[in-house]
Every structure is written in C-alpha cells, then in structure tokens.
C-alpha cells in the first residue's frame, strides 16, 4: 500500500428497530435469516451462518460510505458489477474518479483487513474502473484507487483509509 493513510474509529448508525419484529424474531422457532434456529429450537447449519460475513461486509460498506460523504466525496455508484468483477464504491472528488475497495474484518485470525488487499486486486480495480468509465458519458481528469479497511472490535469499527493505494 502507498500514499496517504488515515485511521479513525467509526460507529455505524443503527436503524430504528421495530420492537414487535425484534420480539417475534426472538420467540420464533422458524428458521429465518434473523433466527438461525430450526423447529426443534437448536441452531441449524446452512445459509444463516454464511450470511454473517455478508452482513458484516454490508455494514462495513455503509460505514465507509458515511465516512466518504462526510469527507466531501460524492458517491456515484455502489456494488457495480460486470463480468470481470465488482467495485464496492465509486465516488468523485472534484475532477477525480475514486474507486474504493472496502474490506471489513471481525478479527485478525486471517490477517488485517488492509493486508487482505493484494496488488493483483488493486490492478483488477484499475481494470474495472476503465470498464466502468467506458459505460459513462462523462470523463474524469484522474482515476484514483483507495482502500478502506475496517476492523470490528467490541461493536466499534477501527478504520484505515489509504488514498491512492496504487
């Protein structure tokens, strides 16, 4: 990684929850994404546990969007996909197109969030930025690839923002 890096703590805004929904989920014996217990009251294997990383990733992306908007960037697109891959966040900062990779981790057993972004991934993001630009009527004077790495500890996020990672 290179360039400018900032680190901060961020706490996501939690949406208002309906007490009825919360109570129904807590007392239900039906397996749903919010209640991974089966009819016998025991936890079941399968999709709900696989959804946890996805939920953490979405939460991390929302924290990153909130941070970027507060820093003055305009979010243009989120989770843009083509057959070559996905860009988490596409933003603009003045005349600069900013492609942002967001990595969120709940622990360091597999390394830090920042360490998980390889040079190959950064090069792929450059390619994806070119693909995205080819679909747009407007142009930008420069393209920058940033990485936002989030690590959750005790419910709070520690954030590292690397501007111009490549």
In a domain, 49, yes or no: no
pTM for the structure as a whole: 0.68
Tell whether the model's pLDDT for residue 133 goes beyond 70. yes
Enter the DSSP assignment of 139: -
In a domain, 24, yes or no: no
In a domain, 21, yes or no: no
Q: How many domains is the chain built from?
A: 1
Tell whether the model's pLDDT for residue 148 goes beyond 80. yes
CA distance 89 to 76: 8
In a domain, 34, yes or no: no
Residues in the chain: 166
Give the model's confidence band at 15: pLDDT under 50 very low, under 70 low, under 90 confident, else very high.
very low
In a domain, 19, yes or no: no
In a domain, 50, yes or no: no
The stretch 127-135 carries a mean pLDDT of 96
Q: What is the pLDDT of residue 65?
A: 97
Q: What is the mean pLDDT of the chain?
A: 77
Over residues 24-59, the pLDDT tens digits come to 222 223 333 444 444 555 554 444 455 676 788 899
Determine contact, residues 125/87, Cβ cutoff 8 Å: yes
Residue for token pair 């597999």: 110
Determine contact, residues 89/132, Cβ cutoff 8 Å: no
Least confident of 10-14, 130-134, 142-146, 160-164: 10-14
For the chain, how far is it from start to end, CA to CA, in angstroms? 7
CATH number of the structural domain spanning residue 153: 3.40.1350.10
The stretch 87-92 carries a mean pLDDT of 98
Under 8 Å CB-to-CB from 2, ≥6 apart: which residues?
162, 164, 165, 166
CA distance 31 to 29: 6
Between residues 72 and 19, which one has the greater pLDDT? Answer: 72
In a domain, 127, yes or no: yes
Which range of residues forms the domain containing residue 147? 4-14+56-163
In a domain, 71, yes or no: yes
Under 8 Å CB-to-CB from 150, ≥6 apart: which residues?
10, 60, 63, 64, 102, 103, 104, 105, 113, 157, 158, 159, 160
């Amino acid at each position: 990684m290179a360039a400018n890096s900032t680190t901060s703590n961020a706490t996501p805004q939690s949406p208002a929850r309906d007490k009825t929904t919360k109570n129904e989920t807590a007392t239900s014996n039906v397996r749903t994404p919010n209640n991974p217990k089966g009819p016998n009251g025991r936890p079941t294997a399968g999709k709900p546990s696989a959804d946890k990383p996805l939920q953490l990733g979405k939460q991390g992306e929302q924290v990153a969007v909130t941070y970027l908007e507060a820093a003055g960037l305009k979010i243009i697109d989120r989770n843009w996909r083509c057959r070559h891959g996905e860009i988490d966040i596409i933003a603009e900062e003045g005349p600069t197109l900013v492609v942002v990779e967001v990595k969120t981790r709940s622990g360091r057993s597999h390394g830090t969030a920042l360490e998980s972004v390889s040079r190959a991934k950064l090069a792929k993001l450059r390619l994806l930025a070119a693909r995205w630009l080819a679909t747009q009527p407007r142009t930008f004077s420069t393209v920058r690839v940033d990485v936002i790495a989030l690590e959750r500890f005790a419910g709070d996020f520690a954030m590292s923002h690397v501007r111009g990672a490549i």
